[in-house]
Structure 1
Amino acid sequence: MTSFELTPDLAEKVKRIAVEAGDKIMEIYGQDFTIYDKPDSSPLTEADLAAHHHIVDSLAAISPLPILSEESADIPWSVRKTWVRYWLVDPLDGTKEFIKKNGEFTVNIALIEYGEPTFGVVHAPAINKTYVGQVDVGAYSEVSGVKAAIKASERKAGETWKIVGSRSHQSTEINKILDSLGGENELVAMGSSLKLCLVASGEAHMYPRVGPTSEWDTAAAHAVAIAAGAKVTVLDVNNPFDKDASPLRYNQKDSVLNPYFLVSC
């Protein structure tokens, strides 16, 4: 396999690609845009496609690795299972948030190595905020060119639990998890992969996901979370805080759907 190293220069170029894709999204965001139906009945907009083409073309120009994007996800498992390293892309995560024009959507680019997300960029163009994380190096947020290191934060004794929830998807199973926590809790609503970033930045303590997600929805923010000191594990609703829970992994099977998972410190 072609040798590969994620140098600081390459990491910066990947971040720039995500920001540029966000610029293309914002060009469409303020206009009337066409909405298409995907085979799974979820919405697809012109912005998804514009961001997708920019990211895929730009990554191919700077890296020899294969690319799996939500908008080109028909690569067969017989091919994908041979990948040791690849780029996993969601060109517009939170399409429903984009359509609602609430600003809570992101561009996600992740590097997957041996099933683990090792680097991720999450760019939220409507709020001009970017999260970057590299495992064993660290994580930071960037607003208007100003970087600030981020770190996940454990809940202190007596502190209200801040639990991240979805603005577009809710599940009754969440209540079972909240009841098992004990103490007061506050549900912090957020769209797209920004939910994982809230835990990574210490703005929330936990994000239990008991609804459907695909691997490209989570990978970039997953890398940010790990780099910031959080963990992302497979969630058993009947035993949500299992200390022996397995880490969430990628490209391990034909399906690209994630199991339920928990982001925590």
Structure 2
Amino acid sequence: MNRSPALPLTDHAVEAAIAAAALICNVYHRPIHVTTKDDGSPVTEADAAAEAVIIDHLRQTGLPVLGEESVAAGIIPKLGERYFVVDPLDGTKEFIKRNGEFTVNIGLVDHGRPVMGVVLAPATGELFVGDAAGAWTARIDGGAVTDRRAIKVGWLPRLRIVASRSHGHAALEQLSRTLDVEKDISVGSSLKFCLLARGDAQLYPRFTPTCEWDTAAGQAVLEAAGGAVVTLDGEAMRYGKGEFQFLNPYFVAAASLDLAQKAAAEMRSLLG
């Protein structure tokens, strides 16, 4: 791929994601061995192997890497103000179901905010990237980036909402009625952020737990495309919450800050 001299960290992350996706696809197309983590969530051989590949690619940047599987193994580097956040296989349940809705996530956090994100769907080759230069999507074909085009949030006469295939919530129906949502687009993994960034939907409320590696890359892509992610107090979602095991509070992602804050207020009301 062509390297950008102005944004080399983005190129490093894209190359790392492509390498991890190739490994994940190898596992995807043969019998998958599934085990269970201490928290009850499923994990496969692809998770740890993909994270090792990503960490190896990012090592040359000299920045720390906060990885989901490393944290699960008790390995947490000293992060500082600038570091990568990695979920090598977001949507493990979707991976096991073989529905294609799983992603490789690599985000860059700077002073508590995600400033760059790479989201790659190995099964489809869809790539989404966001950084200081804007947001764009492309396809991966034979390990190369092709068909690159800029993306930005978009609006429709009525709102479309994205939700999780594996993590629903009873309050979602009421929120949809209150905000006059036309359609619910159910999709797994961090692809929810990417659908907003591409203009296919405008709202993603999250009523169930996530960790920083689940959201950093997707948040960076969405914000680079003109969207916003806020917690239920209406403030921007922050990173580096080591004292809370890197757990996120409930949040809402939206095509604009105004919509995000309006939905956050409704979510506060619904949840009491």
**TM-score, with structure 1 as normaliser:** 0.88
Contact 1:24/1:47, CA 8 A, preserved across alignment:
yes
For residues 43 and 15 of structure 2, what CA distance do their matches in structure 1 show?
A: 24
For residues 189 and 211 of structure 2, what CA distance do their matches in structure 1 show?
A: 12
2:120 paired with 1:130: no
Q: Percent identity?
A: 44
Counterpart pick for 2:116 among 114, 119, 141: 119
For residues 97 and 127 of structure 1, what CA distance do their matches in structure 2 show?
A: 13
Question: Which residue of structure 2 aligns with residue 189 of structure 1?
Answer: 186
For residues 18 and 116 of structure 2, what CA distance do their matches in structure 1 show?
A: 16
For residues 168 and 181 of structure 1, what CA distance do their matches in structure 2 show?
A: 23
For residues 88 and 154 of structure 2, what CA distance do their matches in structure 1 show?
A: 29
Which consecutive unaligned segments of at least 5 residues does structure 1 have? 1-5, 237-244
Contact 2:107/2:216, CA 8 A, preserved across alignment:
yes
Name the aligned partner's letter for residue 35 of structure 2. Y
Question: Which residue of structure 1 aligns with residue 136 of structure 2?
Answer: 140
Offset from partner CA, 1:115-145 (integer Å, 9 cap, x none): 000001000010111000003x100000241
**Runs of at least 4 residues off by over 4 Å:** none
2:243 paired with 1:254: yes
Offset from partner CA, 1:144-164 (integer Å, 9 cap, x none): 411010001134xxx232100
Offset from partner CA, 1:19-60 (integer Å, 9 cap, x none): 110000000001002111111010110111110110111111
Name the aligned partner's letter for residue 261 of structure 1. F
Offset from partner CA, 1:185-224 (integer Å, 9 cap, x none): 2100000000011101111011111111111000001000
Question: Which residue of structure 1 aligns with residue 23 of structure 2?
Answer: 24
State how many pairs are aligned. 243
Offset from partner CA, 1:49-85 (integer Å, 9 cap, x none): 110110111111x211111100011346xx65x6110
For residues 16 and 29 of structure 1, what CA distance do their matches in structure 2 show?
A: 20
Give runs of aligned pairs for residues 75-114 of structure 1, distance below 5 A: 75=75, 80=78, 83-114=80-111
Give runs of aligned pairs for residues 49-60 of structure 1, distance below 5 A: 49-60=48-59
Question: Which residue of structure 2 aligns with residue 240 of structure 1?
Answer: none
Offset from partner CA, 1:168-197 (integer Å, 9 cap, x none): 111001123212213x52100000000011
SS of the residue corresponding to residue 44 of structure 1 reads: strand
For residues 9 and 219 of structure 1, what CA distance do their matches in structure 2 show?
A: 19
2:152 paired with 1:151: yes
SS of the residue corresponding to residue 117 of structure 2 reads: strand
2:17 paired with 1:14: no
Name the aligned partner's letter for residue 80 of structure 2. W
SS of the residue corresponding to residue 223 of structure 1 reads: helix
Name the aligned partner's letter for residue 54 of structure 1. V
**CA drift at 1:253:** 4.4
SS of the residue corresponding to residue 89 of structure 1 reads: strand
For residues 252 and 216 of structure 1, what CA distance do their matches in structure 2 show?
A: 11
For residues 39 and 117 of structure 1, what CA distance do their matches in structure 2 show?
A: 28
Contact 1:208/1:235, CA 8 A, preserved across alignment:
no
Looking at secondary structure, tell me which structure has more helix per residue.
2
Which consecutive unaligned segments of at least 5 residues does structure 2 have? 257-272
For residues 70 and 199 of structure 1, what CA distance do their matches in structure 2 show?
A: 24
2:206 paired with 1:209: yes
SS of the residue corresponding to residue 249 of structure 2 reads: coil
Contact 1:139/1:150, CA 8 A, preserved across alignment:
yes
Name the aligned partner's letter for residue 211 of structure 1. T
For residues 36 and 28 of structure 2, what CA distance do their matches in structure 1 show?
A: 18
SS of the residue corresponding to residue 63 of structure 2 reads: coil
Name the aligned partner's letter for residue 70 of structure 1. E
**TM-score, with structure 2 as normaliser:** 0.85
For residues 251 and 8 of structure 1, what CA distance do their matches in structure 2 show?
A: 23
